[in-house]
Amino acid sequence: MIRTILLLLLIFPAFSYAQPETKDLEELKKEILLLRADVENIQLNLSQSERKFKQGIAVATVGYTMVIAGGLMLGRQNDDLGKGLLIAGGATGITGTIKMVDAFKYLGRAARKKSGN
The secondary structure of the chain in percent helix, strand, coil, rounded to multiples of 5, reads: 90, 0, 10
Mean pLDDT, residues 27-50 taken together: 90
Domain ranges of the chain: 2-115
Look over the chain and give the mean of its residue pLDDT values, rounded to a whole number. Answer: 83
| 3-class state of residue 116 by DSSP | coil
pTM: 0.63
pLDDT of residue 21: 66
How confident is the model over 83-93, as pLDDT tens digits?
Answer: 999 999 999 99
Q: Give tens-digit pLDDT for 58-83.
A: 999 999 999 999 999 888 888 889 99
